[in-house]
Amino acid sequence: MIYDVIASKRRLLASEQQERFIVMETIRSSVVQYYDLILAQSRIAVAREAVTATDELLRLTRLRLGAGVGLPADDLRAQANLAARQQDLALALNAFYQSSITLASSLYLEPTVTLVPKPDHVGPVRLVREDLEITEMLAIATERRPDLQGMKYAAAAAAAESKSTLWGGVSPQLQGGYQVGRLSSETPGQSFAFQEQQHGNASVGWLLSPTLVGQVKTAKANERDAALEVERRFEQVRAQVVRSAQDSATNAKLIPIVQQQVTAAEEALRLAQRNLGVGRP
């Protein structure tokens, strides 16, 4: 039936769009997970520097304590600080391995393989264009997102299947009849010869299946569910677009502030190390 053919084509198009969406989503998630892995690697470096610094602080504290100019409380405080930094390093290593496993799973690699990024320089990358308004982003997402297109095709397939169920349960019925006879008559003193008579009849109707009503209701329910699923997915995409745009705008404001904070902290560390070298606190 023609509606079955239409539904099959729509299902095929929906599966193709779903395949495109899976590829796009895998690429997107892999990029994000790669940057997460770089962040985890950087946190390991920071944690190791913190362990080195606190270990040196513990060494100096014990030297002062041995020289009689330090306090036992300072030594215990330095030991506790070193233990805390070592815990941070262990947690940073675990987070790095977890990020590596997540990325390996997205790339269909063995989870036992440890992925180690080696970027020369990591600069800010904007995944959301600055020159687009929210309405423009929503329009692009509605037009180009394969998952939305696939769900629209699936809803169209459900509508075609509903029509196929309706017309498949109704079958035309044609009936016809034809009669041929001969008629003669006789009266006193007169007779009449046989005369041929022909009679034909025809009728057209529709034959309804007893289960058609239930099948049609089920098909209509499936059609409504598919339409509601398209609307629900569209609202989810709208929320994702708005959330991504807001996160991108916030991070764009935070990056220069964080860079200023890092520069100030590096300069404060340099001055502290220089003062320590000349014997001043």
pLDDT in tens, 41-62: 989 999 999 999 899 888 888 8
Which pLDDT score, from 0 to 100, does residue 14 have? Answer: 83
| Whole-number Cα distances in Å, 125 to 32, 151, 217, 249 | 11, 31, 52, 12
Residue 68 token pair = 């009689």
The DSSP code sequence of 240-253 is HHHHHHHHHHHHHH
Tens-digit pLDDT profile for residues 194-247: 555 555 555 555 555 566 667 777 778 887 888 888 888 888 888 888 888 888
Residue 170 token pair = 């109704």
Mean residue pLDDT across the chain? 79
CB contact at 8 A, 18 and 150: yes
Any idea which of 129-138, 142-151, 178-187, 205-214 has the lowest mean pLDDT? Answer: 178-187
H or E element in which residue 201 lies: strand 190-208
Which pLDDT score, from 0 to 100, does residue 182 have? Answer: 53
3-state helix, strand, coil in the chain (%, to 5): 70, 15, 15
Give the CA-trace dihedral at 200, 206, 207, 208, to 10 degrees. -160
| CA 115 – CA 151 distance, rounded (Å) | 36
Q: Which of 233, 276, 222 is nearest to 141 (CA)?
A: 233
- Is the pTM here over 0.85, yes or no? no
Q: Which of 255, 275, 257, 256 is nearest to 267 (CA)?
A: 275
Which pLDDT score, from 0 to 100, does residue 69 have? Answer: 82
Compare 88 and 219 and report the one with higher pLDDT: 88
Which pLDDT score, from 0 to 100, does residue 168 have? Answer: 63
| CA 57 – CA 60 distance, rounded (Å) | 5
> Residues with Cβ < 8 Å from 44, sequence gap 6 or more?
89, 92, 93, 96
The ranges assigned to domains in the chain are 25-123, 131-170+203-281
| CA 44 – CA 91 distance, rounded (Å) | 9
Position of tokens 């944690």? 47
Tens-digit pLDDT profile for residues 159-208: 877 777 666 655 554 555 555 555 455 555 555 555 555 555 555 555 55
CB contact at 8 A, 172 and 203: no
In one-letter notation, the amino acid at residue 144 is: R
